[in-house]
């Protein structure tokens, strides 16, 4: 599911025609003013004390494009605050252009931006905070076993479908399309009812070459999930009919073997090296929907449901 589908996530960085390394470069264009941002502007006075001045004690995560803190705004709303460092006006305006774009994104399977703050060399972005944490927290987190929380097969299928719908929105409904570039379980956040939303859309991977320096530095700090054609050719790990090794043993066999086989086949298509063989996200959504529907439907020989007691 992760890096599925066209368009490719390795679009070339546009040439802005500013040859800064040339001795003939004597002037520079005035930085373009970013478009309006359609979320409230937050004050640094509100955010600084609530994050212990962005101290490591308040740090809850670190991604490819910045550090993340958890706090509560003055209005009582719990948010995740992502902090990005910028060194120049060019970088700030480029990132704010992307922030303006993100502020327009509204979808039930995409984490919504709730506010922003620009302060000297910092850009702070506030997002809705996941009530149940990330998918990675529940599947692999240190406290997952102690919490006793176990996602059953149906819940996992629904989470996969929600995530696919979020990517479908970015790829097909947003124009120009947005390529997330960092889909992984820690970037799939869970809310009440195990509703899944895509998070941590990487601003740096959408912008032009004025933030190439930031991208290269930060990408080295965390694994970034690129499309297969952007990295070295992978070696297959599983032979035919060995997909069961990928199923969480904590499920103890309580899953559909047919559904798991279909899911494994879909995953294999999504990581094909040749982009032409990878499915579009709308097809991924359709396949996942059919797998979930097939799992929910009772087998042909199942007895009819008993009527409720009077």
Max CA distance (Å), the chain: 89
Count of helix runs (H) and strand runs (E) in the chain: 8, 7
User: H or E element: which one contains 102?
Assistant: helix 89-102
Question: Contacts by 251-260 with C-beta closer than 8 Å and gap 24+?
Answer: 251/150, 251/152, 251/153, 254/152, 254/153, 255/153, 256/153, 256/294, 256/295, 258/294, 259/153, 259/157, 259/291, 259/294, 259/295
N- to C-terminal Cα distance for the chain? 46
Q: By C-alpha distance, which of 270, 287, 289, 197 is closest to 1?
A: 270
Contact between residue 78 and residue 72 where contact means Cβ atoms under 8 Å apart = yes
Vertex 148, ends 147 and 150: CA angle to 5°?
A: 115
Which residues have a Cβ under 8 Å from the Cβ of 109 and sit 6 or more positions away?
162, 163, 165, 166, 169, 195, 196, 197, 198
Neighbours of 15 (CB within 10 A): 9
d(CA 141, CA 138): 6
Contact between residue 190 and residue 138 where contact means Cβ atoms under 8 Å apart = yes
Instruction: List % helix, strand, coil for the chain (3-state, nearest 5).
Output: 40, 15, 45
Q: Could you confirm whether 182 is annotated as catalytic?
A: yes
d(CA 285, CA 267): 12
Catalytic residue among 90, 182, 274, 309: 182
Q: Give the residue numbers annotated as catalytic, written as ranges.
A: 182
């Amino acid at each position: 599911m992760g890096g599925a589908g066209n368009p490719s996530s390795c679009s070339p960085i546009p040439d802005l025609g500013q040859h800064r390394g040339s001795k003939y470069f004597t002037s520079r264009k005035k930085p373009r003013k970013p478009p309006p941002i359609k979320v409230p502007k937050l004050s640094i006075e509100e955010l600084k004390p609530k994050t212990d001045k962005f101290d490591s004690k308040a740090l809850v995560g670190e991604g490819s494009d910045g550090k993340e803190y958890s706090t509560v705004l003055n209005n009582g709303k719990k948010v995740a605050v992502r902090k990005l460092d910028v060194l120049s006006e060019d970088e700030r305006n480029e990132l704010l252009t992307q922030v303006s774009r993100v502020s327009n994104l509204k979808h039930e399977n995409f984490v919504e931006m709730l506010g922003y703050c620009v302060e000297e060399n910092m850009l702070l972005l506030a997002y809705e905070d996941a009530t149940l944490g990330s998918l990675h927290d529940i599947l692999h987190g240190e406290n997952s076993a102690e919490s006793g929380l176990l996602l059953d097969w149906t819940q996992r299928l629904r989470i996969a479908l929600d995530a696919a719908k979020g990517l479908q929105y970015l790829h097909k409904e947003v124009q120009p399309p947005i390529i997330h570039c960092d889909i992984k379980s820690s970037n799939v956040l869970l809310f009440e009812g195990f509703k899944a939303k895509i998070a941590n859309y990487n601003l740096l991977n959408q912008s032009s070459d004025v933030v190439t320096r930031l991208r290269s530095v930060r990408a080295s700090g965390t694994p970034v999930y690129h499309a297969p054609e952007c990295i070295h050719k992978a070696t297959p790990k599983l032979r035919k009919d060995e997909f069961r090794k990928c199923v969480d043993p904590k499920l103890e066999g309580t899953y559909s073997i047919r559904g798991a086989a279909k899911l494994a086949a879909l995953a294999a298509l999504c990581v094909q090296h040749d982009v032409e063989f990878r499915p579009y996200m709308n097809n991924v959504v359709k396949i996942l929907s059919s797998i979930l529907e097939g799992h929910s439907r009772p087998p042909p020989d199942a007895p009819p449901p008993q009527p409720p007691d009077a």
